[in-house]
A and B are shown apart, each in its own frame.
Chain A
Amino acid sequence: MNYTEFLLWVRGPAFHFATAILVLGLTLRFLEMLFLGSPRQYAAVRSNGIAGGIRTVISRFAPPEPGVFQRSWFIIVAGYLFHLGFFISFFLFAPHIILLKSLLGVSWPGLPAPVINIITIISLFAMITLLINRWYYPVLRFLSDFEDYLSWTLAFLPLFTGYLAFHHIWLPYPLMLALHILSVEILMIVLPFTKLIHTFTFIIARWTNGARAAQKGVQV
């Protein structure tokens, strides 16, 4: 298989397969979860749970209170940089926008490539520090298991190969591009079955937590 065939394969069958697994996996896992049901709330509520749930889904994007920030600042800062970088380079890089448009039918303006480049570097750097932190910080070393390192790797590779492809480093561009796409496809395939699914389930997590608290009149 030469690199063109490889590139065609990742852009064609492999992509279709990965998308299919992603969709299938997400549907499966969400249904699996939703069928578990939720206990009903009989206590007289102070405020609407739905509104409170939505509020928490959004409010937990914001940095936490100073007291919490102080204690966990490293993971918060590095976590933000990584996630922001990942999503900016994913959603605001022109070629990606075209891809998303072809899949979703909507499009939006992107950022200039050099800006994406810097953001990617920051994001990569943040990820590396997060990994080191995982090794050195006792709580994280204690908690971390194979899945944590796997998730890290699968999130790191698309950024990294994307960076290499963009700069035509190491391998011929079509090959690097193919590897980049492939790394995303692996991510897509594995996502529904690992903690990477938090990309989607965090909404339910925040929602339920926020709704329960809001019913009691507390904004969490």
Chain B
Amino acid sequence: MSAATFARGYQALKENIDISIAAYFQSCVHCGMCADACLFYTETNDPKYTPIHKLAPLRKVWEQEYTLLGRLKVWLGLAQPLKDEELAEWKEYIYDSCTLCGRCSMVCPVGNDLVYMIRKAREGMAAAGHAPAGLIGATTRAIQIGSPMGLKWLALQTQIKHVENDTGLTIPIDQVGAEFLVLMSAMEIINFPEYLAAVAKIMKHVGKTWTISTEAFEATNSGIQIGASDIAKELVSRIVKAAEKLQVKTVISPECGHAYMAIRWEGPNLMGRYFKFQVKHILEVLDEFRDQGKLKTDGIFETARLTYHDPCQIARRGGVIEQPRNLLKLIARNFVEMADHGKMNWCCGGGGGVSAIDEAHELRTKVFNRKKNQLQELKVEKLVTACANCRIIIEEGFEAYQMELPIIGLTEMVAEHLVEK
């Protein structure tokens, strides 16, 4: 049986270095601004969480493998090659203290895309066997069972039954030729079946055909979070296969941010080809419906003072920023923005697989302080978001900080405000 080795990890790091990464390492002037942008630094004041520092091993590989001077240094014995222990030590930085939120990439004055590099560095870490146990478990379940939380079709089927009973709507399954293929995230299946109900309601409202696939219902992709592109590719290919088999026009990524990143942005690149179908986030689809005048609201506005938490992968990393705001304006009167919002939002602290890392629990609770403060400053009565993972992390955070604030998914909220036809 094959296994992870340092050599494989090192090789993976080598493979993943490209023009941009070389430019980033050459350009960094150690200004420290990326630290100020990362909640793992701002909430702990510990310099070791500075984003660029998280990339020290990758930097070493670049310098020693791909620069003349670096090679010379190793040859002269002036620099030490990367060691396995270093990678082991960096697990804390590359996984536990980075949610791949990408906020650091927004501020770097020389323009470094730090999150891009951290994502790549995870490839090496995973191949070297330094991925956190929690993520390895989730990834294994995703491959073996079909969902990182170990859910089988049966579980979804049960939820579908419940939803059908509750709403009186039928949930189409494996319908060839439907316009939309709707994906779910495991968390939505277990914790927020309201999402499925909302989608069913909305689709009926706008009169579109849609379907769920028994072969590919899980949209999340642990392969990407752990940094194993081969695994990620397999997970994506399940969806691609199903979508092509069902001949859908559009695959709708669920609210979950990382799922969107995985299928919309990384997916085609993992497959190494263009998709024959479109991939859209549910909020994108809803906003299109709104734009086409298909969403008829009941005219009853939310009056509570509420704000919207941008899931990093949807907003900054995914480009879905205006859509949720358009939708909120349709149904809410008292929508207020956090000081840093949209592409400058602060992460909840649990993205990028961090929520699956047990040993990172304490740290992520600590850094939730940022979101807590943001919300407290705003004095809102309700929080809207669009990612099941964010939602759970925020709920846990509230619990830890003994704070009370209702949270609701945006899709659900939109569904609630549609006129019954």
Given contacts A29-B67, A202-B27, contact A143 B32 (CB under 8 A): yes
A71, A193, A201: the one contacting B36 at CB < 8 Å is A71
Given contacts A29-B26, A33-B22, A198-B28, contact A79 B344 (CB under 8 A): no
- Please tell me if the beta carbons of B110 and A206 are within 8 angstroms of each other in the complex: yes
Which residues on B sit within 8 Å (CB–CB) of A29?
26, 67
Determine whether A139 belongs to the interface, using a CB cutoff of 8 Å to chain B: yes
Given contacts A37-B19, A65-B344, contact A140 B107 (CB under 8 A): no
Which residues on A sit within 8 Å (CB–CB) of B42?
71
* CB-CB contacts below 8 Å: B97-113 with A: 105-113
Determine whether B116 belongs to the interface, using a CB cutoff of 8 Å to chain A: yes
- Please tell me if the beta carbons of B45 and A138 are within 8 angstroms of each other in the complex: yes
- Please tell me if the beta carbons of A204 and B37 are within 8 angstroms of each other in the complex: no
Most chain A Cβ neighbours within 10 Å, of B48, B110, B343: B110
Most chain A Cβ neighbours within 10 Å, of B20, B28, B33, B42: B20
- Please tell me if the beta carbons of A32 and B264 are within 8 angstroms of each other in the complex: no
* CB-CB contacts below 8 Å: A54-73 with B: 56-57, 60, 64-65, 67-68, 71-72
- Distance in angstroms between the alpha carbons of A204 and B33 in the assembled complex: 19
Determine whether B272 belongs to the interface, using a CB cutoff of 8 Å to chain A: yes
Given contacts A212-B116, A216-B318, contact A139 B50 (CB under 8 A): yes
- Distance in angstroms between the alpha carbons of A202 and B112 in the assembled complex: 8
A37, A64, A151: the one contacting B29 at CB < 8 Å is A151
A137, A144, A218: the one contacting B321 at CB < 8 Å is A218
Which residues on A sit within 8 Å (CB–CB) of B112?
205, 209
B19, B48, B268: the one contacting A204 at CB < 8 Å is B19
* CB-CB contacts below 8 Å: A12-51 with B: 28-29, 32-34, 36-44, 46
Determine whether B18 belongs to the interface, using a CB cutoff of 8 Å to chain A: yes
B10-34 to A contact mask, C-beta < 8 Å, 1/0: 0000000111111110111111110
- Please tell me if the beta carbons of A33 and B23 are within 8 angstroms of each other in the complex: yes
- Please tell me if the beta carbons of B53 and A143 are within 8 angstroms of each other in the complex: yes
Q: Nearest chain A CB to B348's CB is how many angstroms away?
A: 17
Given contacts A33-B22, A33-B26, A67-B339, contact A205 B265 (CB under 8 A): no
Q: Which of B139-147, B165-173, B188-196, B273-281 contacts A (4 or more CB under 8 A)?
A: B273-281
Which residues on A sit within 8 Å (CB–CB) of B23?
33, 201, 204-205, 208
B18, B32, B266, B340: the one contacting A139 at CB < 8 Å is B32
Which residues on B sit within 8 Å (CB–CB) of A212?
113, 116
Which residues on A sit within 8 Å (CB–CB) of B41?
139
* CB-CB contacts below 8 Å: B308-349 with A: 315-319, 321, 339-340, 343-344
- Please tell me if the beta carbons of B31 and A38 are within 8 angstroms of each other in the complex: no
Which residues on A sit within 8 Å (CB–CB) of B21?
36
Q: Nearest chain B CB to A212's CB is how many angstroms away?
A: 6
- Please tell me if the beta carbons of A46 and B28 are within 8 angstroms of each other in the complex: no
A68, A76, A197: the one contacting B26 at CB < 8 Å is A197
Given contacts A33-B23, A206-B110, contact A137 B32 (CB under 8 A): yes
Given contacts A56-B111, A71-B42, A212-B116, contact A144 B30 (CB under 8 A): yes
Determine whether B178 belongs to the interface, using a CB cutoff of 8 Å to chain A: no
Closest-by-CB residue of B relative to A42 is B268
Which residues on A sit within 8 Å (CB–CB) of B315?
218
Determine whether A186 belongs to the interface, using a CB cutoff of 8 Å to chain B: no
Determine whether A207 belongs to the interface, using a CB cutoff of 8 Å to chain B: yes
Q: Nearest chain B CB to A63's CB is how many angstroms away?
A: 10
- Please tell me if the beta carbons of A39 and B18 are within 8 angstroms of each other in the complex: yes
- Please tell me if the beta carbons of A42 and B271 are within 8 angstroms of each other in the complex: yes
A121-159 to B contact mask, C-beta < 8 Å, 1/0: 000000000000000011111111100100100000000
Which residues on A sit within 8 Å (CB–CB) of B31?
75, 79, 140
- Please tell me if the beta carbons of B319 and A46 are within 8 angstroms of each other in the complex: yes
- Please tell me if the beta carbons of B109 and A79 are within 8 angstroms of each other in the complex: yes
Closest-by-CB residue of B relative to A220 is B106
Given contacts A44-B275, A138-B45, contact A143 B27 (CB under 8 A): no
Most chain A Cβ neighbours within 10 Å, of B35, B273, B343: B35
Which residues on A sit within 8 Å (CB–CB) of B33?
68, 72, 75-76
Which residues on B sit within 8 Å (CB–CB) of A142?
47-48, 50, 53
Which residues on B sit within 8 Å (CB–CB) of A141?
47
Given contacts A139-B41, A139-B47, contact A195 B26 (CB under 8 A): yes
Determine whether A85 belongs to the interface, using a CB cutoff of 8 Å to chain B: no
- Please tell me if the beta carbons of A60 and B274 are within 8 angstroms of each other in the complex: no
- Distance in angstroms between the alpha carbons of A142 and B315 in the assembled complex: 32
- Distance in angstroms between the alpha carbons of A209 and B107 in the assembled complex: 11
- Please tell me if the beta carbons of B20 and A64 are within 8 angstroms of each other in the complex: no
- Please tell me if the beta carbons of A34 and B110 are within 8 angstroms of each other in the complex: no
Which residues on B sit within 8 Å (CB–CB) of A42?
268-269, 271-275
Most chain B Cβ neighbours within 10 Å, of A42, A145, A206, A210: A42
- Nearest first, the 7 A-B pairs at minimum CB distance are A206-B111, A217-B319, A42-B268, A142-B47, A208-B20, A204-B23, A209-B113
- Not counting A36-B17, A204-B20, A218-B317, a sample of 13 additional A-B residue pairs whose C-beta atoms are within 8 angstroms of each other reads A41-B269, A42-B275, A43-B265, A43-B269, A60-B109, A79-B109, A148-B30, A201-B26, A205-B24, A206-B110, A217-B321, A218-B316, A220-B343
- 15 A-B pairs whose Cβ atoms sit less than 8 Å apart in the complex: A33-B19, A38-B19, A44-B274, A75-B32, A143-B52, A144-B30, A198-B110, A202-B111, A205-B20, A205-B108, A208-B23, A213-B105, A218-B321, A220-B105, A220-B106
